[in-house]
Structure 1
Amino acid sequence: MDLLETFIENREMVQPNHANSLQTAHGGNVLKWMDEIGAMSAMRFAGESCVTAHINGVDFERPIEVGDVALIEAYVYEAGKTSVKVRLRTYREDLRTGEAEKTTESYFVYVAIDDDRHPTSVPDLTVGSERGERLREEALDGENGGR
């Protein structure tokens, strides 16, 4: 499967029940949204259920205020035998202007599992476009500390 076919984005309106005492999105809620979208990307790629195996650090760069929209983007950038690496980025988006500012970034590893919940193989990842290659290179560079 091609990298661009794994690209998923979703939006969440940050409500008061998502907030901490500072009226910004609680980090745990942001991580939950990222994990859900990352798993969807991994499952789209693997064609199997996928479970979170590892989170390679999380950088919370700026807050998302109550009333703002959190835009979460995910895509598979590398595949092993049974595991899938997914780059995740969250943005604070202004729906009126379309402007988006990155707030959070991380790299998650998911493992594909079969119906018996045992690890199962995943397909090879292909990159068939300049945009896909750029996204893959950005993810590999970021994963290795080049963020």
Structure 2
Amino acid sequence: MATISGTYIENRERVQPDDVNNYGTAHGGNVAKWMDEVGAMSAMRHAGETCVTARINRLDFERPVPRGDICVIESYAYATGRTSIRVRLRAYREDPRTGEREQTTESYFVFVAVDDDMRPTEVSDIAVESDRGRELREEALAGEQE
């Protein structure tokens, strides 16, 4: 049985000129794509199967990520259904010179595990193995309700 901590992934993308909008900040579509890719990795780490995006519950862009900064994507699975995995995602802008970081985007995605024929397949429950795992799960569940 996978654990919440076992699904935790943090990935980084350097915001390049091709990634930005007319205002010199990361295009929201690129941030959503990066979040979707990393979220799927967390879901697959839990399911042990290919996972596809079923739903995005919210996508809140709180502040921009300027060109040249790093977009850090943090992802972890925190709950499951019969074939689904709920994943919390947050994006941060990080200054590559100082490491200073602030949250820019938050979302909750639902992925569905599929077999080789792309049919939904069952997933196991996710284990809460530590105080940190319990804290991550509680934060995600509370954030879903906002």
Task: Kindly state the Cα deviation for residue 95 of structure 1 after the two structures are TM-superposed.
Answer: 3.0
The answer to whether 1:74 aligns with 2:75 is yes
1:54-109 residue CA offsets vs partner (Å, 9 max, x unmatched): 00011000000000000000000101110000000000012332221000000000
SS in 1 for 2:108: strand
How many residue pairs match? The answer is 145
SS in 2 for 1:41: helix
After superposition, where does 1:40-55 map in structure 2 within 5 Å? 40-55=41-56
After superposition, where does 1:93-108 map in structure 2 within 5 Å? 93-108=94-109
SS in 2 for 1:63: coil
Give unpaired runs (5+ residues) of structure 1: none
Give unpaired runs (5+ residues) of structure 2: none
With structure 2 as the length reference, what TM-score do the two structures score? 0.98
CA root-mean-square deviation: 0.6
Q: How many angstroms apart in 2 are the aligned matches of 1:89 and 1:36?
A: 13
1:12-60 residue CA offsets vs partner (Å, 9 max, x unmatched): 0000100000010000000000000000000010000000000001100
Q: How many angstroms apart in 1 are the aligned matches of 2:100 and 2:87?
A: 24
SS in 1 for 2:90: strand
Q: Tell me the equivalent position of 2:16.
A: 15
Q: How many angstroms apart in 2 are the aligned matches of 1:99 and 1:135?
A: 22
Q: Tell me the equivalent position of 1:63.
A: 64
**Percent identical residues:** 64
SS in 1 for 2:78: strand
Q: Tell me the equivalent position of 2:127.
A: 126
Q: Tell me the equivalent position of 2:39.
A: 38
The answer to whether 1:139 aligns with 2:140 is yes
Q: Which amino acid aligns with 2:9?
A: I
Task: Kindly state the Cα deviation for residue 123 of structure 1 after the two structures are TM-superposed.
Answer: 1.2
